[in-house]
Amino acid sequence: MNAFIIFTIIVHMIVSVGLIVFILLHSGKGTGVSSMLGAALPTTSTGTGIIEKNLDRITIVLSLIFAVTLLILMVGYSPGA
């Protein structure tokens, strides 16, 4: 295994854990950690708070990084070689 694949595996593992954490931070139907943290902040016209929008953005970025690292590992990783 070369250094690039090892680095990609490490990034993939960190992003996987981060994705799990940020998905769990999302609120369900008006409840959850994000609504607890953002209860004092005003909401926009759509009813979604600032914290929830930032959680959405971070989750989307992490999922894109996850997909890219997954594709890199599918193409470049060969176990046992």
Domain ranges in the chain are 49-76
pTM: predicted TM-score of the whole model, two decimal places: 0.72
Tokens 């996850």 locate to 66
pLDDT tens column, 19-50: 999 998 886 665 555 556 655 555 555 556 78
Q: How many whole angstroms separate alpha carbon 38 and alpha carbon 74?
A: 39
pLDDT at 8: 95
Do residues 24 and 64 make contact, with C-beta atoms less than 8 angstroms apart?
Answer: no
